């Protein structure tokens, strides 16, 4: 999945679930891994990482 799409999913998930969004993405990734859907799980791991990055305090 393109980086732009990952960021779009991450933003939408964060807007919908707030601080729980990162955990939601992680749970989705685990569920997909359990089902053998490795490529889709990888996408959700990228979404999870994007959410984590969005939530990180900005340094400057």
- pLDDT value, residue 42: 97
pTM of the model: 0.88
Q: Helix and strand tally (H, E) in the chain?
A: 3, 0
Which tens digit of pLDDT belongs to each residue from 2-60?
999 999 999 999 999 999 999 999 999 999 999 999 999 999 999 999 999 988 776 54
Contact between 13 and 25 (Cβ < 8 Å) = yes
Distance of alpha carbon 8 from alpha carbon 43, whole angstroms: 12
């Amino acid at each position: 999945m393109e980086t732009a799409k990952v960021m779009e999913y991450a933003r939408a998930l964060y807007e919908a679930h707030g601080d729980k969004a990162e955990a939601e993405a992680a749970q989705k990734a685990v569920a997909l891994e359990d089902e053998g859907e490795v490529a889709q799980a990888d996408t959700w791991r990228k979404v999870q990482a994007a959410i984590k990055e969005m939530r990180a305090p900005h340094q400057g």
